[in-house]
């Protein structure tokens, strides 16, 4: 379980997060959604041990985030791909497992690259790939690490809308097969609903959680869910919560 209790983060006189209480169950896929500047990335960084709380507490499976990260139980996908330029796509995907002292499992890495639509690009270096392709390599690398918890900060930002949907469904497929816990930050309401078991809606600054919206859509999900009435109802609910949250801080 991921747990934050009264989590507050300040940068000088600026309070980025204010008393955030969050619970994410083991094996759950949650999205965090909110307007720019509301603290979504700060919350994700605090969960991952990259940002120290000013007050409150963060635990990942009962441990401080830094301990989970050192054990290889916590993986990240950032907005920028952070690939090693001298390594091939396959070398980048297996790198984190090697660093964590795990079997690099190259065949499983090849399968993940194929799932991400990159079959045939295993030997290509980042400079030979587009920005969107590099981000897909980065996603495959994080999934291949085998961490129990995966934190994803707008990982599809450089992808076009169709590819975003395809990658979201691919990530959900891997998540469901391998029983990970995923926390995914996005600006897109439809994407948040497509991916999530629950969507945490934030407002701010200072950042706080307005409401958790349950997403009651079938598993597994494919593109057909985008045309369903339950999907559109949930999107409308999330948009209403976002609007009410914005009104409350004005």
Residue 98 sits in the same domain as residue 137: yes
Q: Does any domain span residue 47? A: yes
The pair of structure tokens assigned to 5 is 């209790």
Q: Does any domain span residue 236? A: yes
> How many domains is the chain built from?
2
Alpha-carbon 155 to chain mean position: 7
Residue 222 sits in the same domain as residue 243: yes
Residue 110 sits in the same domain as residue 227: no
146, 170, 195: which is the final residue of a domain? Answer: 146
In this prediction, residue 168 carries a pLDDT of: 85
Residue 45 sits in the same domain as residue 153: yes
The pair of structure tokens assigned to 149 is 């918890």
Which domain does 122 fall in, by range?
86-146
Q: Does any domain span residue 182? A: yes
Instruction: Tell me the HSE value of 136 on the side-chain side, using a 13 A CA sphere.
Output: 27
What is the phi/psi pair of residue 58, to 5°? Answer: -130, 135
Label residues 22-48 b or e (16+ Cβ within 10 Å = b).
bebeeebbbbbbbeeebbbbbbbbbbb
Q: Does any domain span residue 164? A: yes
In this prediction, residue 250 carries a pLDDT of: 46
146, 170, 185: which is the final residue of a domain? Answer: 146
Q: Is omega for the bond preceding 220 within 30 degrees of 0, making it cis?
A: yes
Closest to 39 (Cα-Cα) out of 12, 21, 17, 14: 17
123, 146, 169: which is the final residue of a domain? Answer: 146
Residue 91 sits in the same domain as residue 142: yes
pLDDT in tens, 4-24: 999 999 999 999 999 999 999
Which helix (H) or strand (E) is 189 found in, with range? Answer: helix 189-195
Q: Does any domain span residue 78? A: no
DSSP character for 166?
A: H
Residue given tokens 């593109």 in the structure block: 223
Residue 117 sits in the same domain as residue 172: no
Residue 67 sits in the same domain as residue 182: yes
Q: Does any domain span residue 81? A: no
Question: How far is 185 from 187, CA to CA, in rounded Å?
Answer: 7
Q: Does any domain span residue 79? A: no
In this prediction, residue 246 carries a pLDDT of: 61
Closest to 75 (Cα-Cα) out of 47, 103, 54, 109: 47
Residue 20 sits in the same domain as residue 54: yes
Alpha-carbon 35 to chain mean position: 16
Alpha-carbon 200 to chain mean position: 12
Q: Which 3 state secondary structure label does DSSP give 197?
A: coil
In this prediction, residue 147 carries a pLDDT of: 84
Closest to 44 (Cα-Cα) out of 82, 4, 5, 15: 4
In this prediction, residue 164 carries a pLDDT of: 83
Question: How far is 55 from 122, CA to CA, in rounded Å?
Answer: 44
Q: Does any domain span residue 36? A: yes
Residue 159 sits in the same domain as residue 240: yes
Q: Which residues of the chain are modeled with pLDDT < 70?
A: 246-250
């Amino acid at each position: 379980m991921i747990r934050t209790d009264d989590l507050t983060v300040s940068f000088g006189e600026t309070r980025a997060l204010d008393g955030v209480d969050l619970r994410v169950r083991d094996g759950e896929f949650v999205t965090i959604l909110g307007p720019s500047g509301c603290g979504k990335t700060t919350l994700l960084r605090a969960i991952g041990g990259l940002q120290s709380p000013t007050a409150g507490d963060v635990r990942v499976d009962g441990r401080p985030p830094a301990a989970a990260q050192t054990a290889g139980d916590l993986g990240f996908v950032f907005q920028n791909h952070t690939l090693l330029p001298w390594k091939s796509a396959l070398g980048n995907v297996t790198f984190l497992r090697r660093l964590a002292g795990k079997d690099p499992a190259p065949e499983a890495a090849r399968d993940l690259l194929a799932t991400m639509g990159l079959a045939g690009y295993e030997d290509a270096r980042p400079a030979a790939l587009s920005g969107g392709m590099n981000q897909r390599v980065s996603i495959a690398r994080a999934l291949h690490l085998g961490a129990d918890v995966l934190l994803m900060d707008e990982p599809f930002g450089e992808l076009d809308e169709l590819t975003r949907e395809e990658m979201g469904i691919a990530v959900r497929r891997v998540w469901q097969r391998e029983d990970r816990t995923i926390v995914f930050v996005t600006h897109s309401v439809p994407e948040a609903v497509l991916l999530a078991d629950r969507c945490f809606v934030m407002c701010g600054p200072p950042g706080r959680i307005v409401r958790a919206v349950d997403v009651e859509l079938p598993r597994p999900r494919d593109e057909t869910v985008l045309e369903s009435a339950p999907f559109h109802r949930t999107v409308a609910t999330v948009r209403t919560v976002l609007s009410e949250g914005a009104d409350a801080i004005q």
